[in-house]
Structure 1
Amino acid sequence: MPAEILTTDDLREFKLELIEEFKRILSTIQNSNTNHTKKLLKSSEVQELLDLSPNSLRNLRVKRVLPYTKINGIIYYDRSDIDQMIVRFKKPARIK
């Protein structure tokens, strides 16, 4: 097998290719991390997220404004249901 001679230009090109590959991998990891936000939230997390008291959150639940799931006595809320509720109650801005 004949020996291959590497030049400094070959090494620079290889370095640039590696850097680009690392950037692509990091970008993929960062995008996947942002897409995997927590799907189910506990009551305390929803209260903090929406700045609600426990009674206000209970009222949303009782009035069936915000769907929930109860597992082993713990109430969970789906993040997409919370987002949909926010959109439903959004008031249009006044434009003068």
Structure 2
Amino acid sequence: MATEIITKEDLNEFRELLLNDLKNLFQGKPISENSKWLKSYQVKNLLKISPGTLQTLRVNGTLNYTKIGGILYYKYEDIQRLLYGNRKSK
């Protein structure tokens, strides 16, 4: 398993995104699916998959993730790439 190094810039970017999401939440605005980072439950709901399937996607390297303090985060762009990469044409 590859080790990822989180830089101060990564943490600052995450902090800004989190603060924006919290501001939107307190103002009654829904957090859009286009947020840059999604949590596991959001990915499962978006893809309509089980926790086991999500784990399989992580383990086999199909879906990249970042783990901060025990919480897994996924880039929305990676999920879009996964969906569009597996499209079948008729």
The residue aligned with 2:67 is 70
Which of 59, 80, 86 aligns to 2:56? It is 59
CA RMSD of aligned residues (A): 1.7
Structure index of larger Rg: 1
Q: Does 1:86 align with 2:74?
A: no
Aligned length: 59
Following superposition, the deviation at residue 87 of structure 1 comes to 1.2
**C-alpha distance in structure 1 between counterparts of 2:79 and 2:69, whole Å:** 21
Q: Whose helix fraction is larger, Structure 1's or Structure 2's?
A: 1
Gapped regions of structure 1 (runs ≥ 5): 1-35
Structure 2: 5+ residue stretches without partners? 1-32
Supply the distance in 2 between the matched residues of 1:65 and 1:92 (Cα, whole angstroms).
21
Deviation at 1:88, TM superposition (A): 1.1
- What is the CA deviation profile of residues 21-63 of structure 1, one whole-angstrom value per residue up to 9, with x for unaligned ones? xxxxxxxxxxxxxxx9311000000000000000000000001
Query: Which residue number in structure 1 is paired with residue 35 of structure 2?
Result: 38
* Greater length-normalized contact order (CA 8 Å, ≥ 6 residues apart): 2
Percent of matched pairs sharing the same residue? 43
Q: Secondary structure of the equivalent of 2:55?
A: helix
What pairs up with 1:14-25 in 2 under 5 angstroms?
none
Displaced runs of 4+ in structure 1, greater than 2 A? none
TM, length-normalised to structure 2: 0.61
TM-score (norm 1): 0.58
CA distance in 1, matches of 2:34, 2:58: 23
